[in-house]
Chains A and B, each alone.
Chain A
Amino acid sequence: MSKIKKVIALVMVLMLVMCGSYFTLMSPTTAWSYQSQNISGTQNTFVFADFDVNSEYALSDTIKFKGATAFEDENETLFDSVVEITEVEIKNEGGMPARVYATVKNEYETKGLRYFYFTDDLMVDDSVRATMLKALNGEMTEQALNNHNIGEDGNSGYYVSLNPGESKVVKVALWVEYDESIDDFTFADSAWATVDYKINITMTATQDIDGALVR
């Protein structure tokens, strides 16, 4: 090959590399897509991949709550022994960073159900109550819980970030505010009386981008 041809070949290769860079460095365009799964008491793993198309599973469970926060327990020292904690292992098998939100719905709209979404990173003194007190800045109100769980606009609540290939265990603490609960669950019950609540825990994985989800 002549020297001129060699120079031309080199120039062509350089131009091809530049063309390749043009395509390689293009911005990705994505979408507000997400994947949801309702978790029952027995199915405690939520595996998701890339959020190509949103999909949902409808599973529900009945939890027997103990006589929460004991009626003679003014300081709620028994809270940690009656609170129900559902652990869910979440796995990101996709190729992009994700965040996972949790929402709990009360199927029969029975009153008094509360929940708190958290991971062990937030845990204080192995106590859910102490953890909540810290996370909610001591403001143990329904509004403060809602702000923590789903955010003021339903889109800025607590979430757990997962890199591709990563898995974590998240927890949902569930309890019933006895003074709001259904009639069956009265002050006359003992501290260990139970009441059934049909609940749906929905885990939603979305891309790790702000503004990606409204519930």
Chain B
Amino acid sequence: MKIKPINILFNMLAIVTVISVSFVFFNIFSGARGYAVLTDSMSPTLNRGDVVFVKQTDFNSLNEGDIVTVQFADGSGFFTHKIVSIDYVAGAIRTKGDANESEDPQPSMSEQIVGKMWYSIPLLGYLSIALNEMDLVKLSVISSVVLIVLISVSVLVSKFRKRGGKNE
């Protein structure tokens, strides 16, 4: 039996889709939130381009050495660092990046803590980083080029198939 290339592509697309959708649903239903790592301040544990998944955790169950994602006090962003000390009474933690020489300058309060790191995946965060660092014009141009290429390929395949049908 001859295997058509289009069927191979279809099967590959199906496998990639099933894996991707399962992964996304797994994270959504387990309550994990993903964050793209922008800097190497937690290197070698976390590197730029990683995606870190965190789960909400009770403050009293946190321990020194846990890696947590914390929202800046002014709500302007997030950082992910390791806990170096905990004040359970005051509800505050002090954090430090593995690659940084000193602790972060300010303590973080329990209400700023988004969650504790569950697991991380390398490289996946570059999608988010690229979008954040790319300006709107570049993004529009790239999207347009991709769209034109896709339409052209589709038209060419369609013509090729019609011609092939006539020859048969």
Contact = CB atoms under 8 A, between A and B. Distances in A.
A210 B38 CA distance: 17
B42 A31 contact: yes
B155 to A, nearest CB: 16
A1 interface: yes
A87 to B, nearest CB: 29
Contact of B36 (A12, A27, A33): A27
Interface residues of A, number: 37
B81 A31 contact: yes
Contacts of A5: 10
Nearest to A208: B76
A30 B16 contact: no
B124 interface: yes
Nearest to B105: A214
Contacts of B105: 32, 155, 211, 213-214
Contacts of B130: 24
Nearest to B54: A29
A85 interface: no
B100 interface: yes
Interface in B77-93: 77-81
A31 B79 CA distance: 5
Nearest to B27: A22
B59 interface: no
A18 to B, nearest CB: 8
Among B16, B20, B78, chain A packs the most CB atoms within 10 A around the CB of: B20
Contact of A32 (B23, B79, B99): B79
A51 interface: yes
Contacts of B118: none
Contact of B128 (A25, A33, A96, A213): A25
Given A13-B13, A52-B39, A53-B43, A29 B78 contact: yes
Nearest to B121: A23
B87 to A, nearest CB: 18
Given A15-B20, A18-B24, A24-B127, 7 more contacts: A25-B128, A25-B131, A28-B36, A28-B77, A31-B79, A51-B41, A53-B99
25 contacts: A1-B10, A9-B13, A15-B20, A16-B17, A19-B20, A20-B127, A23-B34, A23-B36, A25-B131, A26-B34, A26-B125, A27-B77, A28-B37, A28-B125, A29-B35, A29-B37, A31-B39, A31-B41, A32-B41, A32-B79, A32-B97, A51-B41, A52-B48, A54-B100, A214-B105
